[in-house]
Amino acid sequence: MSILLDARTSQNASFSNSISIPVLAGGTPDIFAQIGLDVQDANSPIRVQMSGTVTLQLPLLPAATTITIRIVRGTTLADPLVFSTSQALDLAILDPQLLSFTASDFNVAKPASGPLIYTAFISSNIVGTIRVGPESLNGAAYSDL
C-alpha cells in the first residue's frame, strides 16, 4: 500500500492571457515551474507523479513552431532528465494553444536532506512565441508503507 508523502503546485499563471513572457529560442531554456516535495518520511523508493499545463501564443508572423518541455530532478538542465516532450503548435489556430502533459519518476531515492526538487523548462525553435497563461506544474510523491 502506498502513502502520500507530499503534493505541491507551482502555479505561475492561473488565468488565460494573464502573462506575456517570450519563450527563448536557440538558447538556454526558461524555467516555467519548480516544485519541492517533502519526502523525508519515505521508507522505500519514491514514486512521483506530475502533470502540467503551458499556454502559448504563436509569433505575430506565424511560422512552424515547436515547443520543447523538459523536467529534471533537480534545479539545472545538467540534472537527471525525467521527462521531455516536443509539440508542434498548430498554424491554423491563431488563438492561444494549451499544451498539457503527464510525467512520472519511479524508484527515486530519498535526498540526504531537504526536498526532492523538480524543475520544468521550456524552449521554442522560433523567436516570438509567447507564454500567455495559464501554466502550472503539479506533483505528488508516494512511498510504500
Closest CA to 122 of 50, 72, 47: 72
Query: pTM score, two decimals?
Result: 0.95
Digits of tens for pLDDT over the chain (145 positions)?
899 999 999 999 999 999 999 998 988 899 999 999 999 999 889 999 999 999 999 988 889 999 999 999 999 999 999 999 999 999 999 999 999 999 999 999 999 999 999 999 999 999 999 999 999 999 999 998 7
Round to whole Å and give the CA distance between 117 and 72.
Answer: 8
Class of domain 2-144: mainly beta
**In this structure, what are the phi and psi dihedrals at residue 25, rounded to the nearest 5 degrees?**
-125, 130
H or E element at residue 43 = none
Query: Residue 132 burial (CB < 10 Å; 0-12/13-18/19+)?
Result: buried
Sketch the domain layout of the chain as residue ranges: 2-144
